[in-house]
Amino acid sequence: MDTILHLFLLSLPIAAPKGSHSLWVLATYIKGQTPFPEFSYVVMLDDVRVLYYNSETKTLIPRGNTTTEDDVFNSNVHLTISDNIQSSFKEKWVVATNNVNKTYSVLALQRLVVCELRDDGEPGQMITRDAARGSTTDELLYVDKNFTYQGNLNISTQVLNLHLKISMWNHEHLYRPFCIKTLKGYLEKRRNQVNRKVKPKVRLFRKELSSGFRVSCLATGFYPRHINLTLFRDGQPVSDHEIIGGDLLPNGDGTYQMRKSLEISADKHKYTCSATHLSLDNKLDVTLEYDHGEPFKSVIPSVLMVLALMLVFGVAAAITSWKRQCADSIKSGYSTASASEESVDTT
């Protein structure tokens, strides 16, 4: 579930710009026989989970906090907003069920709410996006008291205008002020956690394929998630249509990784991977030299090592065999001498 949540957030085209901070709320409303509560949501500060809400118990459960955060927000206002979102979901449920096959046993509606705090401390954009059955139904964008709507809801213009009017009022007087206040509160409590900088570990390596080779540039273990990873060929950036991968993926320790690959034939080029990240004073470059003779050259040290080991073991085996033969000869001579002595004594 944690991985799915991270991948969902990373796949979104909307995110706070580098250097700013954002508060994310991912709410899910489910009708049908499932082990999940009918309504729940996760609150995230940037990409750090800070809160979970369960409608069945009506409890707010902190996540990963090391200090008390009861003063970050007013729990009563929080629950009021939760009830408003849940009521909105119930209204949209009626619309959604009228447009789908009645044989659906489970139907899920989701809402993503993001508010942003810019570098100068002023509120940025706020986005509310709704989805049904995995597809976006509508999106509201609130920036500097300007309201923009995009969607394909199958409702009349009159109902839509009423919906937008109510949403405008809620964003301006309830959702946005509360979201920004909560964002500032969590930033104060978890500033060290979200402002930490972890340097990426960058590797550039080659893997042999049946049709040639694959050159891969891997940056992993970095935080925050904003990174520029570029693959160069003979000093020139490789075009995007040649690149394989490039997705940002989460690691289990809260850091991130990105891999970019290029499939090549056995030609002669110089490849360089360049990484730019907030944790680095300068860009980090890793170079891979490749030519026709390199695969053979790379085998030579291994062959020499094997031959050296065979020589050592061969000499050791020869010495051991020689010692054993000497010992057997001495033992055989001693036995013959003893037998001769016994014969003389008997005579």
pLDDT in tens, 158-210: 887 887 888 888 888 888 888 999 999 999 888 888 888 999 999 999 888 88
Please tell me the predicted confidence (pLDDT) of residue 322. 67
Residue 84 falls within a domain, yes or no? yes
| Cβ-Cβ contacts under 8 Å for 278 (sequence gap 6 or more) | 18, 197, 224, 226
For residue 122, CA distances in Å to 44, 115, 149, 177, 344 come to 19, 11, 23, 12, 117
Q: Indicate which CATH number applies to the domain containing 227.
A: 2.60.40.10
Please tell me the predicted confidence (pLDDT) of residue 275. 94
- C-alpha–C-alpha distance, residues 23 and 51, integer Å: 11
Between the two ends of the chain, the Cα-to-Cα distance in Å is 97
Which of the residues in the chain have pLDDT under 70?
Answer: 1-19, 66-67, 90-104, 153-154, 289-304, 306, 322-323, 327-347
Residue 58 falls within a domain, yes or no? yes
Q: Where are the beta strands (DSSP E) in 157-209?
A: 201-209
What letter does residue 226 receive in the DSSP assignment? -
Residue 304 falls within a domain, yes or no? no
**65 near 52, Cβ under 8 Å?**
no
What size, in residues, is the chain?
347
Residue 228 falls within a domain, yes or no? yes
pLDDT in tens, 290-317: 544 444 344 456 656 767 777 777 777 7
Please tell me the predicted confidence (pLDDT) of residue 161. 84
Residue 326 falls within a domain, yes or no? no
Structurally, the chain folds into a number of domains equal to 2
Residue 345 falls within a domain, yes or no? no
Final residue before a domain boundary, out of 194, 216, 231 = 194
Residue 226 falls within a domain, yes or no? yes
Angle at 130 between CA 125 and CA 136, to 5 degrees: 105
Q: Which residue has the tokens 């995230």?
A: 44
- Sheet containing strand 123-132, strands side by side: 59-62, 48-54, 39-45, 21-31, 107-117, 123-132, 135-143, 146-151
Q: Could you tell me the residue range of the domain that residue 232 belongs to?
A: 201-295
Final residue before a domain boundary, out of 159, 194, 229 = 194
Please tell me the predicted confidence (pLDDT) of residue 101. 54
Q: Among 255, 118, 111, which residue's Cα sits nearest to residue 183?
A: 118
Residue 237 falls within a domain, yes or no? yes
Final residue before a domain boundary, out of 149, 172, 194 = 194
- C-alpha–C-alpha distance, residues 61 and 181, integer Å: 19
